[in-house]
Chain A
């Protein structure tokens, strides 16, 4: 489903690998294939940890580049986006096509799902029309076998005239053979040494047009195979290819192929021949697949499991159960390591204070660095790391298993009615972990309109940084403690989550009727078979790619925030600190929306990370000058009540926590993902306005009836 590390993790941060430079130093291998064929497992198994993720230049499509050495040759492996076709109807397809066609990799490895050969061969045939420097990796042979499918690999190799290797990438089977086939193909030492004798023939009409078209290339120094492909693309009026050629060739001062494109158009060649092309490709794929596979029907377990997961009675409850379990494990499981980390950090703090004292550091410096920067950092890390380190692996587990597409399938109807895409349910779930990760996860939605809707509304679901705040306030003011309390607290929490989802859908609907008007675009969702998750890989990937990455980003924003907050709390004008001046200034607005100046200041200063909102509020109430954590819930409640908190204050704080501007990390991410200031500003404004309005309404009604 593409919600992989690549699309949700480190890719935010990085460099765009210099593809040209790579090509000069190593043999370049492009990895192509349909989605869900285990392509990234092949990639990871070949490169190990020697990989680098980023974005394709100028695009928000993830790019992974890795290296490996085989028999003294260095190989650079480029993971192309997973696509069903290369007709450039989407950005991913265009990227994959352009790379194969213009970067001319030494070898293109096409990863093919052995249990679904026919559909996969469609892409193979398309790539073979561009280049014959191809190795086919028939992956998931174990799955094929369990479905009773047996593939005659050498026959397939013979038909296509290229190397074909069978693999089970998840356990490493066949990878050595794959490396060898890549080497032989790259160094052109393969046997049989000649280019494929295979050629794909269209109907006589189209073939006639192709051969006439090829004549226009007579003066060009291109090989016949490539000429045929270009002619075919021009006949299919592929203007994106023409544009690309124009761009490249103007740069070289050579406009031959463009002139030829124009000749194609003026001769009236171009037209709608796509159906004809696809039809022939699939017919050929069907014939080949039939001739190389033997198939014994076996009972199919997956469909039975799917019947249950998508059933009317159990579908939604099962899904809620799984998601509930993930959240519950995250919240409960995070407590202990959080406490542990926080103890470690505070021990370290004492130690640091001692050193600073021994060095005779002036009080302001100690305060600034230790009580300001260090304490904020430590807070953010100890509150943020454990839930993320639990949530993301669990989520990836569901993803690896194949559960996520089923969620999108079950929930699509709600999102369809809101003018959005079913896969938004997944970016939304990701948002429960971290809204920044959620915004990146929206990449799995391929249509731009629906993707923007998903990005702009992601912030409405509370992330791990807001859950603790919500839990604390619910326990203190709504449910009380004890068994009954925790039960009713859970119910309130569920109600909050449900209301967050309703607001997400309502805002999506609103956006799709106003700013993002448009026809709902196509929804075609593949439901791959359930697969045994690869636990080791999950831990590795989600820890490296999501958790540590997000943490590093949070640390980058938390350190300066700690500095600013400390300065505000410790310096001032006359006898008032800047923080007091700020809270006094915000007090009237705070009152209107059921909060007070301090709470509002907490939200504003907590922009870098939602985790520090409550600590800032406590700090301001106690005028303590640095972030503090209170010993017990009772102490917290006493402090809040002494500062005039009522049920209304708690309620409005909860509502505002759910509906206010995204944190700085999320905003930066949204800017990166949308590549637009306009949408980033809207992502800030929309939830804030909704929060302000809702809170003032609630405050108004509450005061009307209860005060």
Chain B
């Protein structure tokens, strides 16, 4: 499959391998969420750095993503071929693949990259934080009842 040479888009070069489709899906989702078009090209090369560099040099936007069998890279056309901008030297997680999509798009958009997601993101507040929050609220309530000259505007209860 040949990419449309005239369309400005990020080129994703994919070495077909088991699990490659899952990675591709997340990378594509990341770019779509950021609103940058892409084209996918299948390739026989398996090294992500080489794949991504080929993508970058053929892309009108100068940005390529290489999905190798064992690694994942983002490349920019003006960089040396052996030095991709971002590189993931392991299988990684769906969240990490998604971030590669975001950051390839952000390179095109010219906005700061997203920080790498932590391995096990948790939204639970830990016990210490919780203690601090409760402590602060109790303090505040006590202070309010002690002073009570702060002005309070309330959106009516009759709503």
Same complex origin of A and B? no
Task: Show the binding face of B for A, using Cβ within 8 Å.
Answer: none
